[in-house]
Structure 1
Amino acid sequence: MAIASCGGATTGDSSAEAVSTPAPTMSADGQFMQTEYGSFNEPWAAAFAPGTPVLFVTEKPGSMKFVDTVTGKMGTVSGLPEVDYGGQGGLGDIAFLPSESAATLNRRTIFLSWAEAGSGDTRGAVVGKGMLICDQADECRVDSLDIIWRQAPKVTGRGHYSHRIAFSPDEAHLYIASGDRQKKTPAQDTGNTLGSIVRLTLDGTPAAGNPFADRNGPTNQIWSYGHRNILGMQFDASGRLWGLEHGPAGGDELNFIERGKNYGWPVVSDGDEYDGGNIPDHSTRPEFESYVINWTPVIAPGDFTFYSGNAFPAWRGDAIIAGLKTNALIRVEMDGTSAREVARYPMGERLRDVLEGPDGALWVLEDGDNAKLLKLMPAA
């Protein structure tokens, strides 16, 4: 059965009757017509199966659902890994290869990230690669899921995993954001992968051409370092990599990510320590790569997307950010490697993810329990 047809029931129960797609309503600020497509339990990430209208959503406690966005029907996914759930940890990102875009595919490669328990009350992020098989109307399964990368080392605590996934435009390389795990100083130590972005082949081996490729692992995985907690990572239409990063008390950053660059955390930040302690600003240490945009007060970003569709033609090329702290979508106008915030669109809830659908609509995931999935179109 084609994956575009995977959605034969509204709840994952094959005996359930289909429910009509709800009518759109006006957003609170009058900017969007919004349509609700169900609710989710602590959703963390979403991705359309390429070439289809089927949207897959990960839930942090360790589950996954999918929605046929044409019919509104929902289904469930089995075969998921055991996750270490708690704090910021659990099931994380999901990614598909854009080249596997035939709508008739009922099996395709899937990449997932999650938090994995270690020994002695430690844990760390991992990324797995497997096959997503959808041969039933209301259920898919993940087969042959193998871990291809582990954050090194595993440490105590349940914060700052990051574990965002991005593919290079040619699909030759896999980029993974690896947070500092709230340990700070490892972000300046290239002997580990905490506080870094790693660049790998699609099988998880260190990629040729990495800045420290001549060193032993895990150093040879590193593409950039000095990061805190990257929760958004995307390539723009020109093939440039961008990272959206949480600062401490202030100092959220949009960064243009370049090979071998050190982005300064925790030595510099335009935010301060949570206890009020001062951190030197980026401007005091020009040897570190500085941000393109800095936000104080913070926006606490989720993921973001570079918009390319026809539904919002004036936004083409802009970065659209899901704001957790702001309860808003944030629009950033891009100009090469420069950027500026141009608008905020209040949504009334914390936003975890935003992505562009096949028809150019924006799809927004709220954060937390009973979080809604919303389709946004222009109000007029």
Structure 2
Amino acid sequence: MGEFKPINWQVVAREAEARCGLLQTRRAVIETPVFMPVGTLGTVKGTRFETLEDELDARIILANTYHLYLRPGTEVIRACGGLHRFIGWRRALLTDSGGFQVWSLGALRRITEEGVEFRSHIDGSPCFLSPEIATEAQVFFGAEIIMAFDECPPGEVSRDEARQSLELTSRWAARSRQRFLELQSADVDTGRVNDHLPPTLDGTQAQFGIVQGATYLDLRRESLRRTVEIGFDGYALGGLSVGEEKAAMYEVLAETAPLMPSDKPRYLMGVGTPEDLLHAVACGVDMFDCVLPTRTGRNGLAWTSRGRLNVKNARWTRDRRPLDEACACSVCRRYTRAYLRHLYLAGEMLASILLTHHNLFFFLDTMRRVRQSIRSGRFSRFRQEFLEGFRSGVD
């Protein structure tokens, strides 16, 4: 088959810290900065993969290890030939390790050095995830990019608690990396792993490490240094947008992102609004994911070039304009605000489908325009103009 690196990464343009790159995986060449639609359970809610591939041109989506580990389970996905074949997605996949979801369980989980004991949110049954188990699950899902297992502290946390989380995350990162390298080698020796591997298990998976440290800048720098010393294929900033003040998140981004290895992809996990994305791009971040486009679409909210539009508002009852007159998506080319409001108030599922489609287009198209602006050396101007329009308000 010949040698193939798990990912090939190159920066093709810069403007200050902002950078435009190409991330090549076996199934897709991904232009960055990139927004990754979230497909937690192996589905991007309210959207068919044909639409994501053919109309929206999403090159990569995210799925979640915690949820897929619980249902349908690793063995079912393995038996179906890996996650791509199981869900019918033809392009690149990134899987989160499940650390954030375990953190969000609160009192339903207990963290130990070995891993996390928790109760399934589905049926209350006892479960356990460790760096090794989370890594094995992701490897056998067959995603092109998998994440190290981390411990995610809340946004408002003491320095001592942030330090303890950093230390545990560092130890778990080393264990995640060790298990990943074992599984990618030819000498796999475990009772759970022997044969019938998904076809992607041929050395073409990449693993990213996660930087923690809450809002303490020195701890963020230390976590970054220790994670880089382990040696991953890319690096992510975790533990942001989890309850801290936005100004604190922006400070962490500005101080930490430029210090991340310049020859590796940089990923900001679980963030965020269009304003957040542009700020992070200006700090040098390459990859993003967030549930906002789909979750808000299901709840009657559209993202537009002039800010957020709530279709439930009575002012749109007879409004024959599209959601966004500057948008070229198929929803804005065909449907009116009045009709979308009618659908939503009538409880028609089509309302959520159409709003989700528009929102995904808006986020993906915004990243496309960001890439164009970096390549043409006008990102700073684009960012200013975008934010002025976005904050002006929907008329």
User: If the length of structure 1 is used for normalisation, what is the TM-score?
Assistant: 0.30
Q: Larger strand proportion, structure 1 or 2?
A: 1
Larger radius of gyration: 2
